[in-house]
Amino acid sequence: MALIVQKYGGTSMGTPERILNVARRVKRWHDHGHQVVVVVSAMSGETNRLLALAKSITDTPNPRELDQMVSTGEQVTIAMLAMALDSIGLDAKSYTGRQVAIQTDSAFTKARIEAIDTDRMRADLNAGRVIVVAGFQGVDSEGNTTTLGRGGSDTTGVALAAALKADECQIYTDVDGVYTTDPRVAPKARKIDCISFEEMLELASLGSKVLQIRSVEFAGKYQVPLRVLSSFDNDNDGAFDDEFKQNVGTLITIEEEESMEQPIISGIAFTRDEAKLTILGVPDEPGVASKILTPISDANIEVDMIIQNIEEDGTTDFTFTVNRNDLSKAKKILKSNAEEIRARDILSNDNIVKVSIVGVGMRSHAGVASRMFRALADEGINIILISTSEIKISVLIEEKYLELAVRSLHTAFGLDREHGESSARA
């Protein structure tokens, strides 16, 4: 007998028929003698609908009230799934984040989980019950409802698995695993059977939204065996002890797999959430970067890539990127400081994207960057900014080249699916 936490995303919970399908899958696991805790998202589109509704009241909704509102999507689906389970003969109970006692800090819209009370869940499991928990939400020490950031149900799933010391956390979604890149953008993307936490963390943080980054952090920290798999594929839930340990979905592994042929690049991530600001003609002297960036970080705006070009006249152009949502705020701050930093002008651009290649194999291979830059040059794609770490290289490019860049890098690094290999769509 194993204890399994299963998380079902918005598409998997998107219609009553799909919810009934989820219930049947949960029943199969339960019938095999396993204890099952299910975490669910709101029906697909519901969180966006609620956010838009809030914006129809004001452009800057109060964050506490926003969380109060957007958390309701999951309250509906937990009850629907519990009803579906009940209708096929299982003893099931649904719980909101508050009812479980998923304790978070008070950072509304991006709260962090601090503690989870497992007593109630353990008692239910021991009584043979299936538990259905609302993803994405928690409660702070004042009793306010909080949410964990977009895609946060993944984190609820992993956090529950960690707290309950589950044998596996299964993230059921609309693709059958983690792919070498988003299969919606590169049809030749290939499923990865096994990927290290380190690489998955990098892919998630660079934009692969198949897993919320915090869920991967959590799984790494608490060593939760984590698997991504399809909720539409009915052949993938054999008994836990035999087929399941095999190549179903993608396993995020704690140990790096020692394979003879470690690929240099494991995956390609991209994000459209980018915006660039350039401050022209500031004096090239000590303290400039700090003068420009301190007010930005004081406003809680995260700066990502930075570049400084020195002009012959002793001035410098200073460029950095921020999340697109923060662009107007950052620009306003720069404009109000323009005199103090002696800027000639301030430019901004949000028609840009970041494309990154990720792989632990980079550590032991030379020439990865030049192969990347060559592939982009061959397609006539201009690189605006570059940043690197030990296991990733990111470039900023014009948005119109996104698909072309991802596909050509995918081919250049030998990641394309072979003829005859199955494709991503479930």
Q: Cβ distance 96 to 137 under 8 Å? A: yes
Mask for 281-310, x = binds ligand ADP (CB under 6 A): ------------------------------
Residue 207 binds to ligand ASP (criterion: CB under 6 A): no
Which strands sit side by side in the sheet containing 385-389, from one edge to the other?
A: 267-271, 352-358, 392-398, 385-389
Residue 137 binds to ligand ADP (criterion: CB under 6 A): no
Pairing mode, strands 352-358 and 392-398: antiparallel
Which of Mg ion, ligand ADP, ligand ASP, none lies near 29, with the C-beta cut-off 5 to 8 A by kind?
A: none
CB count in 10 Å sphere of residue 389: 11
- Rounding to the nearest 10 degrees, give the CA dihedral for residues 16, 20, 22, 23: 140
Q: Cβ distance 352 to 324 under 8 Å? A: no
Best CA proximity match to 42, nearest among 102, 116, 123, 97: 97
The residue from 5, 38, 42, 201 that contacts ligand ASP (CB under 6 A) is 42
Q: The tokens 């099952």 sit on which residue?
A: 36
Cβ nearer to ligand ADP, comparing 151 with 220: 151
CB count in 10 Å sphere of residue 206: 20
Cβ nearer to ligand ADP, comparing 10 with 220: 10
Question: Is the CA virtual torsion 163, 168, 172, 177 positive or negative?
Answer: positive
Residue 231 binds to ligand ASP (criterion: CB under 6 A): no
**At 353, is the secondary structure helix, strand, or coil?**
strand
The residue from 168, 182, 317, 326 that contacts ligand ADP (CB under 6 A) is 182
What CA–CA distance (Å, rounded) separates 34 from 55? 43
Which of the residues 48 through 77 are near ligand ASP (CB under 6 A)?
A: 73
Q: Which stretch binds ligand ASP (CB under 6 A): 58-66, 148-156, 286-294, 335-343?
A: 148-156
Residue 151 binds to ligand ADP (criterion: CB under 6 A): yes
Q: Which stretch binds ligand ADP (CB under 6 A): 205-213, 284-292, 368-376, 382-390?
A: 205-213
Cβ nearer to ligand ASP, comparing 150 with 331: 150
Minimum CB distance to ligand ASP, residue 45 (Å)? 9
Minimum CB distance to ligand ASP, residue 182 (Å)? 17
How many chain residues interact with ligand ADP (CB under 6 A)? 18
Cβ nearer to ligand ASP, comparing 207 with 359: 207
Minimum CB distance to ligand ASP, residue 420 (Å)? 34
Q: Which stretch binds ligand ADP (CB under 6 A): 117-125, 167-175, 346-354, 406-414?
A: 167-175
Which of the residues 80 through 139 are near ligand ASP (CB under 6 A)?
A: 135-136
Q: Which amino acid type is present at position 95?
A: Y
The residue from 94, 146, 181, 271 that contacts ligand ADP (CB under 6 A) is 181
Question: Which residues, in sequence order, are CB contacts of 177 under 8 Å at separation 6+?
Answer: 191, 192, 193, 228, 229, 230, 249, 250
Report the interface residues with Mg ion, using CB under 5 A: 9, 151
Minimum CB distance to ligand ADP, residue 144 (Å)? 25
Residue 14 binds to ligand ASP (criterion: CB under 6 A): no
Cβ nearer to Mg ion, comparing 151 with 177: 151
What CA–CA distance (Å, rounded) separates 318 from 281? 8
376: Cα within 13 Å, side-chain hemisphere: 24
The residue from 6, 21, 35, 41 that contacts ligand ADP (CB under 6 A) is 41
Residue 41 binds to ligand ASP (criterion: CB under 6 A): yes
In order, the DSSP letters of 100-158 are HTEEE-S-TTS--EEEE--HHHHHHHHTT-EEEEESSEEE-TTS-EEE--TTTHHHHHH
Best CA proximity match to 166, nearest among 229, 248, 224: 224
Given the rule CB under 6 A, which residues bind ligand ADP? 9-12, 41, 151, 173-175, 178-179, 181-182, 184, 208-210, 267
Given the rule CB under 6 A, which residues bind ligand ASP? 9-10, 41-42, 47, 73, 135-136, 150-154
